[in-house]
Structure 1
Amino acid sequence: MTIIVDGVVEELVTQGVNSLVRIVSDNVTLVRGINSEIKDLTSDIQMFNARLVEASKNPRANDHQVLRLIVNKFRSVVNEAEDTIADYVVLKKKHGNNLFLKSLDKTPLCGKVNGYASEIQSIRRKMNAIRQEHEQELQYLMQYEIKDQDKAVKTFHQAGPTVEKNEVFGFKKDLEDLKARLLEASDNFIVIPIVGMPGTGKTTFASMLFEDLSILNNLVRIWVPVSKWCDRKQKFISIIYQITKSTEDLTTKSEEMLKDTIQTLLKDRKYFIILDDVWERKDWDSLQTAFPKNMNGSRVLVTTRHDNVIDSTWKSHNLEKLSDDDGWLLIKNNVFGTEGCSDKLLEELGKKIARKCKGLPLALVVVAGILRKCITSTDWQQVADNPLLEINRENQSYHEIVKMSYNDLPNEKLKNCFLYFASFPMGHEIAI
């Protein structure tokens, strides 16, 4: 079973912690007798939950098996604490508050109170054991998140995409069509979604438009990499830095202040913004509020794998896959450069590999990187037998794309279906 760790922490564990806190706060007059034990336990649980939530925000948390174990252990402790404290509150209500205190010297009731105190202490020991046992893993995940944020701060000033420059194969007609739309004689604000499945080269294609000098006249150019984990505030800061080239620390400003700043900076200007790799409608909705819909001929280009991310009122451009011939040209260019391929056997195997990559530029580029390290035709033959097996190994960038797509599937049934079909060899006919 696949668990989205961040969702589990937010929806299940945190809800349990909040429920526990409510029980204590709503019955503050009823926890006398063992109130110090209950308060200490509640404090420990809240503190650990805060650390767990922070660790779960790490983009790699979903693949961290130990974190899943920690979540399950913690959830069990929270449930046990909630049940024990609730039972204790019921006991207090049953005997009445004042009478309860007076009757503590009665052996049966005193024994029950001591029993609850022992249970609370036992739960707290379990809580401390979890914290001590898994401190290193949580610290690692939290530090990774900090490093990611530091890295993001360093890239706020980035004024364009970072992609490998490859000669254009198969995109010529797409480039002509998009340039015509971007340069059309209209002062209207226009949004152009570029839609394509993972690996079709949307980012590379958008970067070609971004760098094209013929569309840069009097334009403010802004490149915003969005991806699956969109931090709205971070993106706003990046946009402001790209416009102003300022070194001012903007991290203390609110999102609303940053949004208003962008609106002010762009309202009288003609701008060209690329939002690269937008996964969800909510991310588009939250970012586009900062872009003034002026009549200066401004353009916003959005690359996305989903055609429902942008309003259907904006005409999308679907980026198709490369032909087999263009696929081979892309492989040949990346492996042999300007010298070309003079070996007929390698050319035959290369064309076979290109066909099996189904016209996906990312797959073609990754497999070309593998072929550059192949010394003999036997090595090429091994790749040609199953190129997707080679490019989906964990040390290849394509593996991350496939994994992200799998994690993005909306429910467990689709994920199981994905894994089921993955067990069949490519091209295998599946009987229904």
Structure 2
Amino acid sequence: MRKLFTSTVFVLSVLGASAVPAAADTIKIGYVDPLSGGAASIGQIGLNQMNFIADAVNKKGGINGEQIEVIGYDNQINPQTSLVQVQKAIDEGVRIIVQGNGSSVGAAIEGFVEKYNRRNPDAHIVYLNYAAIDPAMTNESCSYWHFSFDANTNVKMEALTNFIKQREEIKKVYLIDQDYSFGHAVAESAVSMLKEKRPDIEIVGNEFHPLVKITDFSPYIAKIKASGADTVITGNWGQDFSLLIKAAGQSGLDVNWYTYYAGAAGGPTAIKQANMDGRVFQINEGISNLGYAPAENTAREYGAVYKDAPVLFPRIFNAMTMLFMAIEAAGSQDPAVFIPKLESMDYASFSAGGESFMRKDDHQLFQPLYISAFGPLANDQSFDEEHTGWGWTKVGEISAKDTVIPTTCEMKRPS
């Protein structure tokens, strides 16, 4: 097996041992995500983490003597606006694009980058995707110039439904999702996998709503209550999750929630205010209370800098560290030069050091996944979320090798 790199150690320690004086050149990274509007809190937290990581690396001398510069571009979670911002970034010398919120945005950027590189073979750009998880992006639409650092919708639903199938008390499930490609992918995979694994479960609702436009979810909660559901599965994120939970709490809806992004900005606060102790579960790549010292130390350092927004996205740390390791190993920030290093990398994940690997066939990262429940901190837990006094507790873990699913990607590689 190739060397298994460790994210936190690399960012905060290894570079210090081999640092060289910073050169005039910089490695520009364009962060294209919502920085205004209803999803701004999610986008800003991502930008905070990008800047935190860059600052840590720059203090140690940068990468190959080059300093990291992160530039934020507000895409208002709109595909067309995103492409305008990507072009603006390119015009400003950016060759590394990072985005995560919204698979419709991600698909647009993936297609744009593919076309741009065909037309500009001497000035390639790369798209690092940390959260847009429509399976099409690493299957029929896959691109050599795109890397996915979050488990896709099908991988996460496979894990969630394996957990659900063991809970005999679940009889009636209601699906509610945002009305765009990702939301539909969540619902379709849930219906298919539940039918296979628990055919006795009744799907009593399959609802879609506009993305980041609903301010009052009480009519949707009324439908869920009327359906008799005991469980809700949702891929909602950002304010669409927080406001959904808020409405559920106000109505006294008594169900369990199985989610993808309950831990994102605003979610923990909404859960605590709704007093849903142990009723909300999530599937993701890591939580703070796993007892892994390197990640816990980084979380403390990050929380000391960003006291008002202490939420961590481990996948951003994974993505940035793997990028920097690839650039360092290649001796170049040119995507055409460092991609071969990135696409075949074995890696120790940020959250707990678990073995992860980038699959060369489709540029999908496979990593340990965790199912966790939200509630009051136990005596041995150090990290709460959003200053609520509540935190995530692991209730299930899936190794990277057990998350692997086939891909239909037929990647076109540059000659």
TM-score class, shorter: under 0.3
- In the superposition, the TM-score normalised over structure 2's length comes to 0.28
- Calculate the TM-score normalised by the size of structure 1: 0.27
Bigger relative CO (Cα 8 Å, ≥ 6 apart): 2
Structure with higher strand content: 2
**Larger helix proportion of the pair:** 1
Structure number with larger C-alpha Rg = 1
